[in-house]
């Protein structure tokens, strides 16, 4: 079939490690007129989905798949979600869409998702895979490539590499990163993305998806495995996919990312800004690299608007405002993605610092003039 005669809906995967900037890019894209007729499917790691609340244009075109990570436990749910979207558009329950963007979890392996798109007959007849865009965090990717096999695979399987957070690194670091990415994936063009801003025209440079290249995926994966073994990276075991669980159904969380876990906190009372920052600083200081990601919606004392908090490893980003409270409910909802080994002590420390009484003025002055004594009590 020639590309022009192919009327199937193009599907793009937007992948990239935890906190790399996928939702920020999607937020920009869903507001661009060129992408007015696209649908978005967001998959999240963890029990509490937040990303779909953070994509500004929340309407029926944005669908969340939160029953697990699509690369491991919920390939059946992915197939159901794709079917449901298609049937809803057919019944005019949602606007017909001409492109589908799937945001994977930050830990996803793109390969099984590609497999689902090709193997399910219903889907293969209605959707065509149109390539993977991998968002790469200029500041953190070096450490992620060294420690996480998922990050290496996301880069290696990309059709286009989108480098975010260039503002956080110097020119030499950026040049070294670009050379490293070219070494890992010489075929993928690289684009710089500034706070999510990238012209959606990159999507036109994708297709037609190179069938020859996709045949080489197996070869590429075999090469990656041997590279990873040499580098001493843990290769996640791939579990058997569970059946056709409906979207949002509670399925037993089977995950290939077994050394990583998530937990969430909901707090009904407003939090003092100083307490929240102290709690975040404490877990960042004590658990460093084991804290992969923190994100959430926060109800700060004295603030009527919801605020969005983002942390990636030891980095905390400036708080931003969100228009409305999700589901009209004012409460703090925080999601942590951490190495399983530290989950309990990290959660306990966070709760303890959050619940601690406000320091007195004397204590604050003392801490200010004796900074060396800070953080040495653990
Ligand atoms: N300085 C800077 N910050 C950025 C840039 N792009 C994204 N961010 C920030 O990085 C943080 C994480 O961005 P997200 O878009 O939520 O990342 P994500 O990949 O969707 O995260 P997960 O879904 O948890 O994997 C947010 O605070 C963003 O504002 C950028 O180009 N520069």
pTM: predicted TM-score of the whole model, two decimal places: 0.76
Determine the distance separating the centroid of ligand 1 and the alpha carbon of 221, expressed in angstroms.
Answer: 28
- Of the candidates 115, 149, 112, 368, the one whose C-alpha atom is nearest the C-alpha of residue 258 is 149
Q: Mean pLDDT in the chain?
A: 78
Q: On the CB side of 221, how many CA atoms lie within 13 Å of its CA?
A: 12
Average pLDDT over residues 23-27: 91
| pLDDT for the residue numbered 289 | 79
**CA–CA distance from 316 to each of 92, 321, 347 (Å)?**
42, 15, 17
Tokens, residue 251: 């399925």
167 lines ligand 1 (CB under 6 A): yes
Which of 27-41, 257-271, 291-305 has the lowest average pLDDT?
A: 257-271
Decide if pLDDT at 48 tops 80.
no
CB 297 within 8 A of CB 321: no
Determine the distance separating the centroid of ligand 1 and the alpha carbon of 164, expressed in angstroms.
Answer: 8
Local structure of 136: helix, strand or coil? strand
Which of 177-181, 191-195, 333-337 has the lowest average pLDDT?
A: 333-337
In the chain, what is the straight-line distance between the N-terminal and C-terminal CA atoms, in Å?
Answer: 65
Local structure of 270: helix, strand or coil? coil
| pLDDT for the residue numbered 239 | 39
Neighbours of 183 (CB within 10 A): 9
Is the ipTM higher than 0.95? The answer is: yes
Rounded-to-integer distance, Cα 234 and Cα 147, Å: 8
Neighbours of 35 (CB within 10 A): 19
258 vs 333 pLDDT, higher one = 333
Decide if pLDDT at 375 tops 50.
no
Neighbours of 247 (CB within 10 A): 17
Determine the distance separating the centroid of ligand 1 and the alpha carbon of 11, expressed in angstroms.
Answer: 22
Place 71 in a pLDDT band, splitting at 50, 70 and 90.
low
Indicate which residue's Cα is closest to atom 26 of ligand 1.
310
Look up the CATH superfamily of 3-231: P-loop containing nucleotide triphosphate hydrolases (3.40.50.300)
Average pLDDT over residues 360-372: 65
Rounded-to-integer distance, Cα 349 and Cα 291, Å: 13
Pairing of strands 332-339, 291-298: antiparallel
Place 110 in a pLDDT band, splitting at 50, 70 and 90.
confident
Ligand 1 binding pocket mutation candidate from 24, 30, 141, 144 (most atoms within 8 A of CB): 24
195 lines ligand 1 (CB under 6 A): yes
Determine the distance separating the centroid of ligand 1 and the alpha carbon of 23, expressed in angstroms.
Answer: 7
Decide if pLDDT at 70 tops 70.
no
pLDDT per residue as tens digits for the range 247-297: 222 333 334 555 778 788 888 889 988 889 899 999 988 888 788 888 888
Pairing of strands 62-65, 38-43: parallel
Local structure of 10: helix, strand or coil? strand
Which of 69-83, 105-119, 311-325 has the lowest average pLDDT?
A: 69-83
51 lines ligand 1 (CB under 6 A): yes
| DSSP letter (8 states) at residue 31 | T
Pairing of strands 38-43, 99-103: parallel
| pLDDT for the residue numbered 192 | 97
| pLDDT for the residue numbered 142 | 92
Place 199 in a pLDDT band, splitting at 50, 70 and 90.
very high
Which of 58-62, 86-90, 99-103, 341-345 has the lowest average pLDDT?
A: 58-62
Ligand 1 atom index nearest CA of 295: 24
CATH 3.30.1220.10 in the chain: give the residue spans.
Answer: 260-373
Determine the distance separating the centroid of ligand 1 and the alpha carbon of 9, expressed in angstroms.
Answer: 28
Fold classification of 260-373 is: Hypothetical Protein Yjia; Chain: A;domain 2 (3.30.1220)
| pLDDT for the residue numbered 263 | 84
| DSSP letter (8 states) at residue 140 | T
Decide if pLDDT at 121 tops 90.
no
Place 378 in a pLDDT band, splitting at 50, 70 and 90.
very low
| DSSP letter (8 states) at residue 207 | P
Ligand 1 atom index nearest CA of 44: 23
Longest dimension (CA), the chain: 76
CATH 3.40.50.300 in the chain: give the residue spans.
Answer: 3-231
Tokens, residue 157: 């399987």
Neighbours of 327 (CB within 10 A): 7
| pLDDT for the residue numbered 320 | 87
227 lines ligand 1 (CB under 6 A): no
Its sign, for the CA torsion 33, 36, 38, 44, is: positive
Decide if pLDDT at 8 tops 80.
yes
Its sign, for the CA torsion 2, 134, 21, 291, is: positive
Average pLDDT over residues 190-209: 87
Indicate which residue's Cα is closest to atom 32 of ligand 1.
165
List all residues 6 or more positions away from 186 whose beta carbon is below 8 Å from its beta carbon. none
249 vs 154 pLDDT, higher one = 154
| pLDDT for the residue numbered 184 | 85
pLDDT per residue as tens digits for the range 214-245: 545 555 555 555 555 555 555 554 433 333 33
Rounded-to-integer distance, Cα 185 and Cα 152, Å: 10
Please name the helix (run of DSSP H) or strand (run of DSSP E) that holds residue 264, with its range, or none: strand 260-267
| pLDDT for the residue numbered 5 | 74
Cα angle, residue 205 at apex, residues 104 and 63 outer, rounded to 5° = 30
């Amino acid at each position: 079939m020639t590309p022009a005669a192919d009327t199937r809906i193009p599907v793009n995967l937007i992948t990239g490690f935890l906190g790399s900037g996928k939702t920020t890019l999607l937020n920009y894209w869903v507001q661009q007129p060129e992408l007015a007729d696209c649908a978005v499917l967001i998959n999240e790691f963890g029990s509490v989905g937040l990303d779909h609340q953070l994509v500004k244009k929340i309407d029926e075109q944005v669908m969340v798949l939160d029953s697990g990570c699509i690369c491991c436990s919920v390939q059946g749910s992915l197939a159901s979600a794709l079917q449901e979207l298609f049937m809803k558009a057919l019944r005019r329950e949602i606007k017909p869409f001409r492109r589908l963007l799937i945001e994977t979890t930050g830990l996803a392996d793109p390969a099984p998702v590609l497999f689902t798109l090709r193997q399910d007959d219903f889907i293969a007849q209605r959707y065509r895979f149109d390539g993977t865009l991998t968002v790469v965090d200029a500041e953190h990717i070096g450490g992620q490539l060294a420690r996480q096999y998922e990050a290496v695979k996301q880069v290696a399987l990309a059709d286009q590499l989108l480098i975010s957070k260039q503002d956080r690194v110097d020119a030499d670091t950026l040049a070294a990163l670009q050379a490293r990415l070219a070494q890992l994936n010489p075929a993928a063009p690289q684009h710089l993305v500034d706070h999510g801003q990238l012209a959606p025209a990159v999507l036109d440079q994708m297709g037609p998806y190179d069938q020859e290249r996709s045949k080489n995926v197996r070869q590429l994966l075999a090469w990656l495995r041997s590279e990873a073994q040499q580098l001493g990276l843990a290769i996640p075991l791939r579990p058997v996919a569970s059946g056709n669980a409906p979207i949002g159904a509670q399925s037993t969380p089977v995950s290939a990312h077994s050394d990583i876990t998530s937990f969430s906190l909901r707090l009904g009372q407003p939090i003092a800004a100083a307490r929240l920052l102290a709690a975040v600083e404490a877990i960042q200081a004590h658990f460093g690299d084991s804290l992969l990601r923190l994100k959430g919606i926060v109800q700060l004392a004295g603030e009527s608007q919801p605020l969005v908090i983002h942390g990636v490893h030891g980095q905390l980003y400036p708080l931003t405002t969100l228009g409305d409270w999700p589901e009209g409910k004012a409460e703090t909802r925080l999601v942590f993605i951490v190495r399983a080994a530290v989950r309990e002590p990290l959660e306990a420390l966070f709760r303890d610092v959050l619940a601690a009484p406000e320091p007195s003025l004397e204590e604050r002055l003392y801490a200010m003039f004796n900074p060396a004594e800070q953080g040495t009590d653990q």
